[in-house]
Amino acid sequence: MDASLDRIANLIQEANHLFAAYIKNKDKQSYVMAYTNIQGENENMPKINGGSLRKRANGTWEIRYYDNNKQKSIYGKNQKDLIKRFTQVKRTKKQKQEEPKHYKFKHWLDEWYKIYKQPKLKESSLYNISNSINKYILPYFEEMSLKDISPLQIQKLLNSITKQRAMEMTANVLRESLRKAYELQLTQTNLFVGVEVKKVKSIKRRAFSKEEIKSILNSIAEKEYGQLIRFLLLTGMRRSEALKIKWEDIDFNNNFIHIKGEKTESADRLFPINVQLKELILEIEKSTDCLFHYKPNSVTQKFTKIVRELKYENVSLHSLRHTFATNCMEKGINTKLIQTWLGHSNYNVTADIYTHVNNQYNKNQADELDFSKYLN
């Protein structure tokens, strides 16, 4: 359809030129010859990709093309130079079409978070991501455009973060968001390539001793928080799992709790209710759907403050889960059963705890040996 309209427009323009020539020359024969000559020349013109080339009545050349549904023309004295200019016009247009959308980095991070993270991650993970963005990334890059960020700037940011866990989380946010920007052609390269993330060997957290647990519980003034810590100790649940337990998940008739874990497929499981756990659950005030009403990070912050005041080292809130597993193993409970209770997808994770416990048990037994009467 566009080609037909273009052809009609050409003919109209040619007719206008010829009519002007006729009026000027007052010579009908000249008119007919001029029309015939131009028609013959234009029919033999080379085809131009993306436009139409023709010789005008005045001897100059024209290329017509469409840009955003609008007809445009460029003119030249000779065919070769005009085609060269038109090629440059097309190249410039293509570059503009391929040029990445201009984003401020903060706007891209906001879109990436809402589209690719918020719909599928749990609250605690989203908190960690938004904390990295708001505490480290945005203050550093401020109003910078996405395209202006360099790997060197990213490296300097990561090097400035002194806390290992915070640095690793920030690196993960930058790595994933910039990779996605590249995949969506918002940047011409992956801006995280070349950035080095320092790896520090993780510290294996230990279990609490009985004396330490007593001291921790005695240090907790808040009744509900104390109940939560005891609940974690008696069930070995992850923090996120315990905070999502609802009263409807508890079945006293069959004595089990339905743990709707999300971390792995095996995290969704049934946990047996023993006498101690039942007494604790009955102590908890039934005010809302859930047993406990804390935000995940406030639970961790409170616990961290307590163990620091007690000057306990190499422990964390997760050490309560480790303590549960240790107690189970010391009681001789089957390792596969402990794996089921803990919701470990991999047996090796549980077996690793068993090895640690067994080594500690052997050490404790060796400490009991007394050969002094043989040596003195």
* Co-location of 225 and 304 in the same domain: yes
Angle, CA of 168, 172 and 178, to the nearest 5°: 140
**pLDDT at position 185, please?**
86
* Co-location of 175 and 264 in the same domain: no
Choice between 173 and 5, residue whose per-residue pLDDT is larger:
173
CB 112 within 8 A of CB 177: yes
Check whether 268 has a pLDDT greater than 60.
yes
**pLDDT at position 346, please?**
66
pLDDT in tens, 241-265: 999 999 999 999 999 999 986 666 6
Dist. CA 351–CA 40, nearest whole Å: 89
Classify 369 as helix, strand or coil.
coil
| Token pair belonging to 190 | 């992956």
* Co-location of 348 and 242 in the same domain: yes
Check whether 223 has a pLDDT greater than 80.
yes
Dist. CA 319–CA 203, nearest whole Å: 12
- Which one of 65, 98, 131 terminates a domain? 98
* Co-location of 67 and 87 in the same domain: yes
* Co-location of 90 and 118 in the same domain: no
The CATH number linked to 300 is: 1.10.443.10
pLDDT in tens, 35-73: 334 444 455 555 567 788 888 888 888 888 888 788 888
* Co-location of 284 and 359 in the same domain: yes
In a domain, 203, yes or no: no
Choice between 365 and 333, residue whose per-residue pLDDT is larger:
333
Q: Give the mean model confidence (pLDDT) for residues 206-228.
A: 91
- Which one of 98, 126, 145 terminates a domain? 98
Burial of 129 (0-12, 13-18, 19+ CB in 10 A): buried
Q: Domain of 242?
A: 210-367
* Co-location of 220 and 340 in the same domain: yes
* Co-location of 268 and 360 in the same domain: yes
* Co-location of 354 and 298 in the same domain: yes
Classify 333 as helix, strand or coil.
coil
CB 329 within 8 A of CB 220: no
In a domain, 192, yes or no: no
pLDDT in tens, 349-375: 556 655 555 555 555 544 544 444 444
Domain count, the chain: 3
The CATH number linked to 140 is: 1.10.150.130
Q: Give the mean model confidence (pLDDT) for residues 165-184.
A: 94
- Which one of 147, 165, 183 terminates a domain? 183
Q: Please report, rounded to a whole number, the percentage of residues in the chain having pLDDT higher than 90.
A: 41
Q: Report how far Cα 28 is from the mean position of its chain's Cα atoms.
A: 76
* Co-location of 231 and 363 in the same domain: yes
* Co-location of 62 and 141 in the same domain: no
CB 336 within 8 A of CB 320: no
Q: Give the mean model confidence (pLDDT) for residues 117-136.
A: 89
* Co-location of 121 and 59 in the same domain: no
Least confident stretch, 12-21, 177-186, 260-269: 12-21
In a domain, 306, yes or no: yes
